[in-house]
């Protein structure tokens, strides 16, 4: 998380000129660096070491007479090697075209992680800073049409239209013939044009999945004869977005909507079973809290390092359930995900104690679904992503609800679901068909924001995935949102992926 901006000496000099009215200025770019400036005097900085990206400022807005709000977004499209965003620099240009480092923000102990681009859909971060200028009248309000717009900018455009004489419903009916006079040029105008054309206000999953909107939809979902659930059943996702959430009526768990119609249609083509498509419209959900606050999810499983029983709430070892490793605390992924303790013992408890309690018992359907699961380990194979590891998933098969109806009501997410990249997975069998990043992360929510203020311990923030890394290690996603490996007997978090309708 980024701390407040510190104005540099050069920024203070520019501020003095703004107060005196001898110059004007505009904020032009933000620079992202992996250099640790936590021990430095930020006011003396004139440039940033370790700069990894420079991005255009999307726009600026006057907050009051002494403050402006600056927006910018960075994504990983051109990032070949991931890095931690430890420092952000804000650059300004005065009336004589002199560019200075105006202010600097450093991260706290949990910097954002910018992953390498996987070659699929980019991911990134949006930053908004309240910048002290002391005389906002001399700040040029900049909207850069080449920069990436933010949800804040979209919300501002919607508010602007909603409070105007012509309401959104009137503008919708007009479909673009209404004059855009009074709307700023550049990015905001582009957003408004999209709004007129119903691209943002569309009903389909594809249209809604592109934007994260944080909103509590609990009452609407739980309402008797819920109009929201009726719309979902009809494939009408008006006013639903990734980032909506449901507070579980029984457990109090915060369930994020992470994707819309994730399994719907033929998502399995090319993997040997085109018939295993889901025909029910649905929301994909995943809990913010680790499952298991009040109820243990395992039974006497041991940790390999000290042979002690895992007793931390909400956690479970990943080890296989069959053979000599059962209950013995061995680091073993024998049988891969399909034979794992988490799949066969933990997930049925997740369904019964959380999903059934929060949804099924209140009239909300939790879908069964087909999944392609890795089911064997070649102990002599080399891990795809790390050549020093031995052992890799070597086969897979389709498993349907009749295999284990409770298990097939939820699954562990894959590394790809959470990060958009392959991470530490042992082979292409590991993720199965779960190779697509969930919309909530693809559209820009960071994993840290997804976790919110959950206590930062390995049990509360690190999450097991369905990928294995070797014969002894399985894959996790850390509190920073990047992938890692852990011994298969470790007690780590369970954050399952499920689908409701």
Q: Mean pLDDT check: name the lowest of 4-8, 11-15, 188-192.
A: 188-192
The predicted pLDDT at position 391 comes to 94
Q: Which residues, in sequence order, are bridge partners of residue 316?
A: 492
pLDDT greater at residue 191 or residue 351: 351
The predicted pLDDT at position 196 comes to 45
What mean pLDDT is predicted for residues 46-71?
84
The predicted pLDDT at position 58 comes to 75
The predicted pLDDT at position 324 comes to 39
DSSP 87: E
The predicted pLDDT at position 460 comes to 64
pLDDT greater at residue 257 or residue 240: 257
What mean pLDDT is predicted for residues 345-353?
83
pLDDT greater at residue 414 or residue 481: 414
The predicted pLDDT at position 102 comes to 94
What mean pLDDT is predicted for residues 338-359?
86
* Per-residue model confidence as pLDDT tens digits over 162-198: 554 444 444 444 434 444 454 444 444 445 544 544 4
What mean pLDDT is predicted for residues 57-69?
78
Q: Per-residue pLDDT for 454 more than 50?
A: yes
| Maximum mean pLDDT: which of 43-47, 155-159, 271-275, 305-309 | 43-47
The predicted pLDDT at position 500 comes to 93
The predicted pLDDT at position 53 comes to 92
- Measured CA to CA in angstroms, residue 183 lies from 151, 171, 190, 192, 351 at distances of 17, 14, 10, 8, 49
Q: Which residues contact 59 (CB under 8 A, 6 or more apart)?
A: 70, 71, 141, 142, 143, 144, 147, 149, 153, 186, 187, 188
Q: pLDDT band at residue 421, thresholds of 50, 70 and 90?
A: confident
* Per-residue model confidence as pLDDT tens digits over 66-117: 888 888 878 888 888 888 889 999 999 988 889 999 999 998 766 777 878 7
Asked if 66 and 133 count as a contact pair (C-beta separation under 8 A), the reply is yes
How far apart, in whole angstroms, are the C-alpha atoms of residue 75 and residue 53? 9
Residue 215's φ and ψ, nearest 5 degrees, are -155, 140
Instruction: Compute the mean pLDDT over every residue in the chain, rounded to the nearest whole number.
Output: 77
Q: Mean pLDDT check: name the lowest of 28-32, 179-183, 468-472.
A: 179-183
Closest CA to 221 of 190, 183, 249, 188: 249
Asked if 314 and 297 count as a contact pair (C-beta separation under 8 A), the reply is yes
Q: Mean pLDDT check: name the lowest of 107-111, 166-170, 212-216, 356-360.
A: 166-170
* Per-residue model confidence as pLDDT tens digits over 115-126: 787 666 566 777
Q: Per-residue pLDDT for 127 more than 50?
A: yes
pLDDT greater at residue 127 or residue 175: 127
SS3 of residue 349 by DSSP? helix
- Confidence (pTM): 0.62
**Dihedral through CA 204, CA 208, CA 210, CA 212, nearest 10?**
-170
What mean pLDDT is predicted for residues 244-269?
83
Strand intervals (E) in 116-198: 124-132
The predicted pLDDT at position 70 comes to 85
The predicted pLDDT at position 121 comes to 56
Q: pLDDT band at residue 444, thresholds of 50, 70 and 90?
A: confident
Q: Kind of pairing, strands 244-247 and 215-216?
A: parallel
Q: Give me 303's structure tokens.
A: 């940790």
How far apart, in whole angstroms, are the C-alpha atoms of residue 282 and residue 365? 9
The predicted pLDDT at position 269 comes to 43
Residue 393's φ and ψ, nearest 5 degrees, are -60, 135
How far apart, in whole angstroms, are the C-alpha atoms of residue 355 and residue 141? 49
C-alpha radius of gyration, the chain, whole number: 25
Asked if 58 and 187 count as a contact pair (C-beta separation under 8 A), the reply is yes
Q: pLDDT band at residue 463, thresholds of 50, 70 and 90?
A: confident
List the domain boundaries for the chain: 6-148, 153-201, 290-352+370-437+458-500
What mean pLDDT is predicted for residues 488-500?
84
Q: Give me 368's structure tokens.
A: 């069964």
Q: Per-residue pLDDT for 274 more than 60?
A: no
What mean pLDDT is predicted for residues 351-358?
89
Q: Which residues, in sequence order, are bridge partners of residue 492?
A: 316
What mean pLDDT is predicted for residues 426-446?
89
């Amino acid at each position: 998380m980024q701390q407040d901006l510190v104005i540099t000496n050069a920024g203070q000099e520019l501020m003095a000129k703004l107060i005196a009215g001898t110059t004007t200025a505009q904020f032009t770019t933000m620079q992202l660096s992996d250099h640790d400036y936590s021990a430095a005097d930020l006011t003396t900085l004139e440039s940033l070491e370790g700069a990894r990206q420079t991005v255009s400022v999307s726009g600026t807005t006057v907050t009051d007479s002494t403050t402006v709000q600056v927006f910018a977004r960075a994504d990983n499209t051109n990032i070949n090697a991931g890095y931690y965003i430890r420092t952000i620099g804000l650059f300004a240009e005065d009336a004589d075209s002199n560019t200075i480092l105006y202010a600097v923000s450093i991260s706290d102990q949990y910097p954002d992680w910018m992953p390498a681009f996987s070659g699929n859909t980019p991911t990134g971060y949006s930053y908004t800073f309240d910048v002290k200028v002391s005389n906002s009248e001399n700040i040029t309000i900049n909207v850069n049409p080449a920069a990436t717009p933010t949800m804040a900018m979209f919300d501002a455009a919607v508010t602007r239209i909603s409070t105007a004489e012509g309401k959104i419903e009137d503008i919708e009916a007009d479909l673009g013939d209404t004059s855009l006079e009074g709307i700023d040029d550049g990015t905001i105008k582009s957003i408004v044009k999209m709004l007129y054309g119903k691209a943002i206000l569309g009903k389909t999953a594809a249209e809604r999945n592109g934007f994260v909107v944080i909103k509590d939809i609990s009452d609407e979902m739980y309402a008797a004869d819920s109009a929201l659930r009726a719309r979902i059943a009809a494939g009408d996702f008006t006013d639903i977005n990734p980032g909506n959430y449901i507070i579980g009526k029984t457990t109090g768990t915060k369930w994020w909507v992470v994707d819309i119609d994730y399994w719907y249609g033929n998502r399995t083509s090319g993997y040997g079973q085109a018939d295993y498509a889901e025909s029910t419209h649905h929301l994909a959900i995943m809990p913010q809290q680790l499952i298991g606050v009040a109820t243990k999810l395992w039974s006497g499983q041991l940790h390999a390092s000290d042979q002690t029983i895992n007793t931390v709430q909400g956690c479970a070892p990943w080890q296989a359930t069959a053979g000599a490793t059962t209950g013995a605390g061995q680091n073993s992924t024998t049988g891969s995900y399909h034979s794992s303790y988490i799949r066969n013992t933990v997930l049925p408890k997740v369904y019964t104690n959380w999903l059934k309690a929060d949804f099924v018992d209140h009239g909300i359907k939790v879908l069964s679904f087909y999944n392609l699961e890795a089911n064997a380990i070649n102990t002599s194979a080399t891990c795809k992503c790390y050549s020093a590891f031995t052992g890799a998933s070597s086969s897979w098969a389709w498993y349907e609800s009749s295999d284990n109806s409770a298990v097939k009501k939820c699954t562990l997410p894959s590394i790809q679901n959470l990060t958009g990249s392959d991470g530490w997975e042992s082979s292409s069998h590991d993720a199965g068909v779960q190779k697509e990043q969930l919309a909530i992360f693809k559209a820009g929510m960071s994993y840290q924001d997804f976790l919110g203020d959950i206590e930062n311990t390995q049990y509360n923030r690190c999450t097991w995935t369905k990928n294995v890394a070797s014969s002894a290690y399985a894959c996790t996603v850390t509190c920073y949102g990047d992938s890692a490996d852990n011994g298969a007997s470790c007690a780590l978090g369970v954050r399952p992926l499920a689908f409701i309708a």
